[in-house]
Every structure is written in structure tokens, then in C-alpha cells.
Chains A and B, each alone.
Chain A
Amino acid sequence: MARQVSPTRTWATTVAAWIVGLLIFFPILWMVLASFKTELEAFSVPPSFLFFHWTTENYAAVQGRSDYVHHAVNSVIIAGGSTLIALLIAIPAAWSMAFAPTRRTRDILLWMLSTKMMPPVGVLVPIYLLYRNFGLLDSRAGLVLVLCLGNLPIVIWMLFTYFKEIPKDILEAARMDGATVGRELIYVLTPMAVPGIASTLLLNVILAWNEAFWTLNLSTSEAAPLTVFIASYSSPEGLFWARLSAASTLAIAPILVLGWFSQRQLVRGLTFGAVK
């Protein structure tokens, strides 16, 4: 649909888009700025925007008080591990639901989605008790398991939607061309589904990285990922804004970089089904 757009209109849209973009970005920017202020300047009124005494003392303080690398490694293991296990389960599940559906497929999909409608706090006590009895509290394995199960419905749904978009004709053409089921999977289906699998993977890593409810409740130190690391800076002795900001900046930096480099895949992943 070609539509005549006047220059004024283009200009107005551009300005509006920038305003919205900056509004959304502002809290992150403010956090990064605050991480370079002294504690006093961090909550001074009126706040100083750029003209303050820049310091890296907060980063030094954070590194001195807690072990960033330990938490970051935990985050990587938990986010990566839960995503990989979820994909291993979800790929065959989505294949079969997309290409060999039964009368119950629709119901199963809806049932899986319905599990995401329940507030997690509703099952916190039973899960906490189970974890305590099985010795899974504050263990990486326990967090991998809970995040994997928590995100599995979303992963299956996303993959199912992707696989659904692959035209059946192409699979039938492969069958007519003499491909067995295995070779159809290797040579035709998988290469066509790779973009879908990649964006599902990225999105799930980000979801798992940012997950705070289960990680805060089920881990304390050994298995604690970066979410716990941030939360430890809001303490009963009072808030240390500058240090909290420094910790948060450190915690979100890796995922921000990952997101930056995978923007295109992510946009495709988040708008899946909407744009062909």
C-alpha cells in the first residue's frame, strides 16, 4: 500500500518516535549516570545531569563487597542451561503438534498457555518445600529446572507458530523427491526453521536472565545469579543509590550487548505470526 506521506508528517513521526524512544531509554540512562556519581550526588535535589564529579568508586565498592563474576557465571549457566533443555524438549513437541496434530492438540496448547496465567507466588510454598526436601535449594540445577519448566510453554508456542508457517507442500515435495522422514528433517525442515529456533533461543535467554521471582526465592549465595546480586544492594541499612546503580549496570550489561547484536532476530521473534 503506497500512501503519500507529506514531509511534515514524516518529520513529526520521527520526532515522536525519538521522544518515545528516549522516554523508554531514560531510566537505563539515569541508572548508568547514577552509577558514576557519589552517593550524595545520586539523590541530590535538583539532580545533576552530566555536570557532577565522575567517579568509579561505586564499581570498586561493588566488586569489593560481592563477587560479580560468580553471579554472572551463575546467570549464564542458569539462563543458558534452562534455554537449551527447554529447546530440546520443545522442538520435538512443536514438530509433532505442527505436522501431526490430533484432535487434542489445540487443547494441549491452551492448557500449556494456561499454566502461565497462574501467579507464580501461588505455587511458591509447595515448590519451596519440594526443593527443600530434595536438596535443590540454592542449587544451579534447581534454578535451571524451575526456569526451564516455567518458560517451556512459551518456547513450545513460539516454535509451534514458526513450524506452522512452513508450508506443508514443501514437506510433501521432499517426500515425493524420495526423502525419508529423517532426511526431510535434516535437509528441508531444520534449515527452514533455523531463524525461528534462533529467535526463540534469544528471547528465552533474555527471559531467563531477567527472571527474578524464582531466583530470589530459591537461591541465596551458591547458585545466586545477578538478580540476587542486585537485590542484595537494597538492604535494611538503607538504599545506596549509586552502588545499587553500579550493580544493576553490571548485571544488565551482558544481556544488553546480546540484545544489541541480535536485534533483527529478536524483532522477528517478538512479532512472530504478525508479519510474514
Chain B
Amino acid sequence: MGSITLEGVRKSFGPHAVIHGADLAIEDGSFVVFVGPSGCGKTTLLRLIAGLEDVSGGRVLIDGANVVGVPPAKRGLSMVFQSYALYPHMSVRGNIGFGLKMAGLERAEINRKVEAAAATLNLTPYLDRKPRELSGGQRQRVAIGRAIVREPKAFLFDEPLSNLDAALRVQMRLEVTKLQRQLATTAVYVTHDQVEAMTMADRIVVLNAGKIEQYGSPLELYERPANLFVAGFIGSPRMNFIAGEGAQRYGAATIGVRPEHLRASRDGEGWEGRVSVAEHLGSDTFLHVEVTGIGTLTARSVGELGLTMGDSVRLLPDPARIYRFAGDGKAMRQ
């Protein structure tokens, strides 16, 4: 079991409020990702759940029991750190087994569990090596092994993949997701990478400046962003925003159109503009178009259009996919 509930959790460092009252219910067995720009408080929120920081107000409940004031060791959670934080003087076996040793298990029992965890993570040949003799990906696996071996109520991941190179990151992303599904243990995962958030999460918490902006499944956030911030943060390339006259025609203060919902053509209907940059990815083309009276819009089109810098182009938004936002930034009903 491992449900985590936050009730009005607040945190300040001296006079600086970092988390302004967070309410959140994380169901047992779900994979929840905290995402947001740097400094939004996502890591702090994770550390409050872990008990590595004390809350300034509110309650943290694990399986319904208030754990405020309970030391991290007694919360039954395990954590994977961004820096891996392996014990440099211990072998892989010692690292993975440390938590079990602290729990006072028999040596034979520890060995059995450590070897089972190592087998799951393909670490068996490295059990007697020291962390410095391992590659980045292997160290990451050891850190994950240390977390799973204790069969915790929940895993806490603090940007665990950000020190890996791009290819390894994609591979580890899949492995972590698979492992979590297999173990069916609650996971809370912090990242600033919205691709990681979209691909791994059952539900995403979008944080901004210490506030939870929206909590929902990846597709909910993509299709029904609650406000301008979430609309701009989720999706890549980011949503185009048009304010002023162009928006008033739709009865909104601001309208948003995702690049994939803008159809680019050489002539026909839509906003007229000039291509300032064309990014050719092969499968897609990102066109950055200067539209007079509106600004720069990004359009994503499948395949090649043969457009290059300076060409004139028409951009037609899909009318069903125009997001409308009120003056306070909140989304308006479609």
C-alpha cells in the first residue's frame, strides 16, 4: 500500500515561501510526475514528502497516517537522487543492501534480496564492484536497486535521469516505467523535462512558483489545459499565443493554437506570413513564421513542404483546436 495525500502543505525558507499550500491525492500504485520550470518547488515538494525537509504548515499523509514530524527513515519510502548518492566506499552489494542491513535483516536474507534486485536490473556481474568502477547508467541502476530492494510504500525520484546522455535517458525512461508497472508501487517522479512527464506518468502535477497549476493525466493536460501556464508548458514545440485583436474575434483575451494544429500551405486561407526559420527534422518540419500584426507563430507540418527562409506562407488554425483564455489566464469553455 502506498497512497500519499498532501493537505495544505506549505514550506518557507526564512521569509521566502517556496510552497504555497499544496493539496494533492496520490493513489496507491500510480505513477505521478511533478513537472515545472526550475525553481518552481517540485524538488522541495518531493523532499517534504520524503521528510528531508520539515513542512511549515499542513499535513502529509501516507496511507492515511499523518507523517509530519516522523523522520525520513521511519516513513517507509525510498528515494533515487539526481546525483545517485551512492556510498563510495561500499560495493554494489553493500550499497543495495544497506537499507536492509539498517532494518536488521539476516545476512542470508539480505543476500537473497540483493541478488534478486540485481538480477532485475542486470547488475549481477557488478555486485562486487565499487561505484567509481561503474558507468553512469550502471550507477543509476544501483541507485534504483537500492530503492526497490526495500519494497517501500513508494518510490521518490528526484530528476534521476538528468545526468545521463540523451540515448541512455530514453532507454532508462522505458526501464523505470516498466519496472514501476511491474512492481505496482506508487512512484513520485520529479523532472523538468516535459517529454519524460508525458511519457512516464499516469498523472502529472504541473507546478509553477510554488503552486499546483493542474493535476491530471497527460492527455487531459494536453487537451484541456486549465490555464495559460499549463498550455504553454505542456507540448513541444510550445503553444502559440495570440493576444489582442486576433483573440477578441474569438471572444477571449488570449487564444492559443498548438503548432501541430496550424496547417501551413503556400496559398489559400489563413494568416499570411513569411518563413523566418525552417527546421527540417525529416519526419516533421517546424516553420517559424512572421505574421504581421500577430508576431512569430510556430507551425509543425508532417513531411516536407519545400518551404525555405523568406517564402510566403499561409497558416490556417484547426477551428476545433483553438484554446481560449480569459484575462486572468484561466481557460474558457470551448
Contacts and interface: CB of A to CB of B under 8 A. Distances in A.
Interface in B69-107: 71-74, 77-79, 81-83, 85-89, 98-99, 102-103
Nearest to A169: B85
Interface in A157-198: 167, 169-170, 172-180, 183, 187-188, 191-192
Nearest to B102: A178
B72 A170 contact: no
A170, A172, A177, A179 interface centre (most CB from chain B within 10 Å):
A177
Contacts of B89: 191-192
Contact of B73 (A176, A187, A191, A192): A176
A84 to B, nearest CB: 24
Contact of A192 (B72, B83, B88, B102): B88
A64 to B, nearest CB: 52
B6 interface: no
Interface residues of A, number: 17
Nearest to A194: B89
A190 B226 CA distance: 51
A176 B77 contact: yes
Contacts of A174: 87, 98
B99 A170 contact: no
Contacts of A179: 73, 98, 102
B49 to A, nearest CB: 11
Contact of A177 (B71, B82, B83, B146): B146
B136 to A, nearest CB: 15
Contacts of A191: 89
B264 interface: no
B85 A180 contact: no
B156 to A, nearest CB: 8
B103 A178 contact: yes
Interface residues on B, range: 20 to 34
A92 B14 CA distance: 27
A172 B50 CA distance: 10
B87 A176 contact: no
Contacts of B72: 172, 175-176
A192 B86 CA distance: 12
A167 B85 CA distance: 8
Contacts of B82: 169
B52 interface: yes
Contact of B81 (A173, A178, A188): A173
B81 A187 contact: no
A65 B139 CA distance: 65
A227 B79 CA distance: 56
Contacts of B87: 170, 173-174, 188, 192
Contacts of B71: 175
Nearest to A176: B79
A169 B158 CA distance: 11
A176 B83 contact: no
Contacts of B146: 173, 177
A178 B73 contact: yes
Contacts of B81: 169, 172-173
Contacts of B83: 167, 169
A177 B102 contact: yes
Nearest to A191: B89
A135 B88 CA distance: 50
Contacts of A167: 83, 85
A101 to B, nearest CB: 14
A191 B150 CA distance: 23
A173 B80 CA distance: 8
A177 B99 contact: yes
A167 B81 CA distance: 12
Nearest to B75: A176
Nearest to A183: B102
Contacts of B85: 167, 169-170, 172-173
Nearest to A188: B87
A177 B52 contact: no
A175 B81 CA distance: 13
A192 B89 CA distance: 7
B95 to A, nearest CB: 9
Interface in A135-174: 167, 169-170, 172-174
Contacts of B50: 176
Given A175-B71, A176-B78, 13 more contacts: A169-B85, A170-B85, A170-B87, A172-B52, A172-B81, A173-B79, A175-B52, A176-B99, A177-B99, A178-B73, A178-B102, A188-B87, A191-B89
24 contacts: A167-B83, A169-B81, A169-B85, A170-B85, A170-B86, A170-B87, A172-B52, A172-B72, A172-B81, A173-B81, A173-B86, A175-B71, A176-B50, A176-B99, A177-B73, A177-B78, A178-B73, A178-B102, A178-B103, A178-B150, A179-B98, A179-B102, A180-B73, A192-B88
Closest 6 CB pairs of A and B: A169-B85, A177-B99, A173-B85, A178-B102, A178-B73, A191-B89
